[in-house]
Structure 1
Amino acid sequence: MTTANPSTASESSAPAPHLAGNFAPVRDELTAYDLPVTGTIPPELTGWFLRNGPNPRDVVTPHWFFGDGMVHGLRLEDGRAVSYRNRWVRTATFTDGVPVVDEQGRRNLRAGVANTHIVRHAGRTLALVESSFPYEIDCRPGHELETIGAHDFGGRLTTAMTAHPKTCPTTGELHFFGYGGPQPPYLTYHRADAAGELEVSRPIDVAAPTMMHDFHLTAAHVIFMDLPVVLDLNRRGMPYGWEPEYGARLGVLRRDDPYGEVRWLSIDPCYVFHSLNAYDDGDQRIVLHVARYAEYGDNSPAHLWRWTIDLVSGTVAEEQLDDQLCEFPRIDDRLAGLPARFGHGISGEFPGSGPVPGALLRYDLHSGTVARHDFGPGRTPSEAAFAPADGRPGGPGWLLSYVYDASTDSSDLVILDAEDISAAPVATVHLPQRVPYGFHGNWLPDPAG
């Protein structure tokens, strides 16, 4: 066990909302084996469930987004919960205090907190934050969740990398972008091949440095969201703010012409942290599903919306699909960029929101129906990742989520049958410490063979 540095926060002062309750960090890095289980873990699940999120070492941070990254990992094998461990991502900022921006205003892409997502591509497991390079994490036996170091694609990556890259299920390519610099180019599109070699880096002209957290990929297109949350380095704390007068638009780029024209289409001012999925509907229409906020701010809820781009008329039809709170939307990632019938999201607590009934939602995007799993009083889920049961994309599988129980100040891994989420959990793995609310993760099955 490794114990973090003691808190520098005042014990007598009330913590900020993003440092209170289950947003508060845990102080210990633990390793525990043979965890107790209620129910039966599906024996098909052999691999890691990894979830990343902010866990500030010194406890004092001005915003939820700024805490040091900590990966929580649960190892499943042959129907057993073999081990749990949590480890800080040891970036240059964590180990040596290297700032992202120095006193001369120069940006260090090897610094940062790597606290937002964790993905696997071309044999590498990468912890991501959108301000910096990714950091590679070691998941080999005996090296579980140790930090290897910053990954810059052999020196070819010269911008930050989004925390929401998309892997094309057909080509194996990894599509992503970098944004966030105070000087142009404010946006750069990147593509790596299936072997992890960076082969496209193309600047895209936008008017200002907006906060572009996510984007969309289809079989034929890449779609960027240039939305009115704009960088202003004079702001204290969070440097991005809501500026609706900037306008909102979607930028469409053909995948077969990565250096070609980006076509911009206007939409109503709004903000989107997370896309659910996107796909081409014939040659002239693109359908996008997003968790949409009417505006950017602590008290604005997100709901599931559909945007339909008409490439002939150059217009976007916008439609709200549900009135339930919905964030952290996910699909079976083997259908990324393709027509996926089912999507999942959660209704849960966010800093300053107060208690919210914790639920997981399953959207049938064909019929428009919504199934719901309520976790019970005081039990709140984090983002749910889909774990397939077989090789059929869109087929059966399970939803895995860390669930916090306020009555016991503890967390479980809950496994639900994705095709019957209203039913009781298939299995609940009881963890040795709580998992603070965080951001994103994945089920990473062991490679075949």
Structure 2
Amino acid sequence: MTGKPYLTGHYTPVADEITATGLTVEGTLPPELTGRLVRNGHNPKPGVTPTHWFKGSGMVHGVRLRAGRAEWYRNRWVRTPALDGAPYLTEHGPDLTASTAGTHVIEHAGRLLALCEANLPFELTPELETVGAYDFGGRLRTAMTAHPKVDPVTGELHFFGSSPVPPYLTYHVADASGEIVRSFEVPGASAALKHDFGLTRSHVVFVEGNVTFDPAERSGIPYGWNDEQPARIGVMPRTLGGAGRIRWYPVRPGSMLHAANAYEDARGRIVLEGPTVDREGFERSWNWWTGAPGRGSEPSSRSFNRRWVIDPDTGTVDEDTVDDLATEFPTINEDYLGAEHRYQYAVSFPDDDLGGYGIVKYDRTTGERHLRPVGDARLPSEALFVPAAGATREDDGYLLTVVSDLKQDTSRLLVLDASGLDQVAAVHLPRRVTAGVHGSWIPDNGPDADQD
């Protein structure tokens, strides 16, 4: 036992790869849930103790649903050079293939990509076997954020590469076929951590908080809180040449890891929302992530939803903490990405021994908060929205979340009604799934859908 919090409890790594078929289903799976749920997270190999949670090797877990059946579960390590100990920094500079590949997994243009923001993506097969590093046919020469955005109107993939040294920020756009069609350096960026961003119909929204490059940090993740680093939001037009018109707006101190959404409101203001920590919250989380002494019992302490409203006409920013519930991993109906959304979902965390784990739904029109606890010693994963067949309302659909039970040493894939958070069905998985980070629902489409 190492005593590292990120290797204990819900975060205890699994030691092997398995495949199980014909999973037990409780209730009735909606027929439109035909596809794969794939989720990524940090899971170091047996005998390996990473110096930071983020340094643990990536492992993807997948569940295949089709025609009301749960056909298989499988888990696989993403087989990158780092899995076998290859260093990121070499005598020739950074090795962008030496990735944990453990933060996210997405599908775009028929490719399944495991992501980690300091490296190139890694392509996987539909059965989660590793193909190898993917550089968009040689067009991608920077790292790739773990939080790319697919424009629901154009099908374009928008993403960036960030670096603690110049150029600090490079923006990329791949068309719906997966070909990079634009890449350019974003002026005015700094070495501040840029983990996620916002994409509206007309703008790209970058967030630079008080967490920035710190060469003295010894955990292997060279970032730390710095009061001298200005917190600010950059708003860049999406039009050709928009980088030259980027505008940076100062905001209150904080650090936002994940954006729920961004959009232009009826007055032309840019609205951005996402869980944000203050210095105390960041330091508590950092203590947990690194296993450092000090208070750090939860990885999302003091993570409260914050909203910024940026007025380009006046050059001002109004910002408010929307709720006092500690949450992370915000999600929405992705059909509304870049447009004004009414409903927002997240995972709730206990904070200062108050509350517990659960799935929360926000109604941004009424201000109502609906919390569904998941039970004692149970932890849910990020809740992914899947539209229902024939959906007419924004919340017509389902939330998919993997809930792990420490007491039973088991996990279930829960299917919740997104409108009321009632359980629709549950798939019993053959093992406890390690608490992870992000994932995607990948619906079947095209001629290759039945090949597995």
CA contact (8 A) 1:348 1:382 kept: no
Counterpart in the other structure of 1:220:
202
1:235 is aligned to 2:233: no
CA distance in 2, matches of 1:400, 1:442: 10
Amino acid at match of 2:32: E
CA distance in 2, matches of 1:47, 1:82: 10
Amino acid at match of 1:147: T
CA deviation string 1:241-276 (max 9, x = no partner): 000221100011000134422100010010000000
What is the CA-CA distance between 1:381 and the residue it aligns to? 0.6
Aligned to 1:36, the other structure's residue is in SS state: strand
CA contact (8 A) 2:261 2:338 kept: yes
1:284 is aligned to 2:268: yes
Aligned to 2:54, the other structure's residue is in SS state: helix
CA contact (8 A) 1:19 1:59 kept: no
Counterpart in the other structure of 1:22:
10
Counterpart in the other structure of 1:114:
101
Aligned to 1:436, the other structure's residue is in SS state: coil
Counterpart in the other structure of 1:314:
315
1:90–1:356 Cα change, 3 Å: farther
1:428–1:306 Cα change, 3 Å: same
CA deviation string 1:271-310 (max 9, x = no partner): 0000000111146301111111123222542111211010
CA contact (8 A) 1:137 1:147 kept: yes
Match of 1:266 among 226, 250, 263: 250
Aligned to 2:10, the other structure's residue is in SS state: helix
Please report the TM-score for the alignment, with normalisation by the length of structure 2.
0.91
Aligned to 1:28, the other structure's residue is in SS state: coil
CA distance in 2, matches of 1:430, 1:83: 11
CA distance in 2, matches of 1:283, 1:319: 18
CA distance in 1, matches of 2:390, 2:193: 36
Amino acid at match of 1:67: G
Counterpart in the other structure of 1:196:
178
CA contact (8 A) 1:220 1:255 kept: yes
**More deviation in 198-207 or 35-44?**
198-207
Counting matched residue pairs gives 426
CA contact (8 A) 1:22 1:436 kept: yes
Amino acid at match of 1:128: L
Counterpart in the other structure of 1:437:
435
CA distance in 2, matches of 1:378, 1:355: 14
Counterpart in the other structure of 2:397:
397
Match runs of 1:153-232 below 5 Å:
153-180=136-163, 182-206=164-188, 208-232=190-214
What is the CA-CA distance between 1:98 and the residue it aligns to? 2.4
CA contact (8 A) 1:130 1:178 kept: yes
1:128 is aligned to 2:86: no
Aligned to 1:260, the other structure's residue is in SS state: helix
What is the CA-CA distance between 1:349 and the residue it aligns to? 6.6
CA deviation string 1:28-68 (max 9, x = no partner): 10100111122221122110001000001143011111111
CA distance in 1, matches of 2:136, 2:268: 35
1:126–1:207 Cα change, 3 Å: closer
Amino acid at match of 2:433: V
Percent identity over paired residues: 46
What is the CA-CA distance between 1:373 and the residue it aligns to? 1.0
Aligned to 2:258, the other structure's residue is in SS state: strand
CA deviation string 1:122-149 (max 9, x = no partner): 111111000000011111xxxx111111
CA deviation string 1:75-116 (max 9, x = no partner): 011111111000001112224x322111x3601111111000
Please report the TM-score for the alignment, with normalisation by the length of structure 1.
0.91
CA contact (8 A) 1:348 1:381 kept: no
What is the CA-CA distance between 1:226 and the residue it aligns to? 1.4
Match runs of 1:24-423 below 5 Å:
24-57=12-45, 58-95=47-84, 97-102=85-90, 104=91, 106-139=93-126, 144-180=127-163, 182-206=164-188, 208-237=190-219, 238-257=221-240, 258-282=242-266, 284-295=268-279, 296-297=282-283, 298=285, 299=296, 300-348=301-349, 357-390=356-389, 392=391, 394-421=394-421, 423=422
CA distance in 2, matches of 1:184, 1:177: 14
What is the CA-CA distance between 1:389 and the residue it aligns to? 1.0
CA distance in 2, matches of 1:248, 1:151: 33
CA distance in 1, matches of 2:146, 2:361: 24
CA distance in 1, matches of 2:254, 2:396: 34
1:248–1:43 Cα change, 3 Å: same
Amino acid at match of 1:52: N
Aligned to 1:387, the other structure's residue is in SS state: strand
What is the CA-CA distance between 1:233 and the residue it aligns to? 2.3
Amino acid at match of 2:153: T
Amino acid at match of 2:435: Y
What is the CA-CA distance between 1:206 and the residue it aligns to? 4.0
CA distance in 2, matches of 1:207, 1:369: 37
Aligned to 2:216, the other structure's residue is in SS state: coil
CA distance in 2, matches of 1:236, 1:356: 33
1:311–1:107 Cα change, 3 Å: same
CA contact (8 A) 1:349 1:380 kept: no
1:354–1:81 Cα change, 3 Å: farther
Amino acid at match of 1:314: G
1:305–1:183 Cα change, 3 Å: closer
Q: CA RMSD for the aligned pairs?
A: 1.8
Counterpart in the other structure of 1:446:
444
CA deviation string 1:353-381 (max 9, x = no partner): 88961110011111111111111112211
Aligned to 2:89, the other structure's residue is in SS state: coil
CA contact (8 A) 1:346 1:384 kept: yes
CA contact (8 A) 1:168 1:174 kept: yes
CA contact (8 A) 2:379 2:435 kept: no
CA distance in 2, matches of 1:332, 1:59: 38
Counterpart in the other structure of 2:293:
none
Amino acid at match of 2:116: V
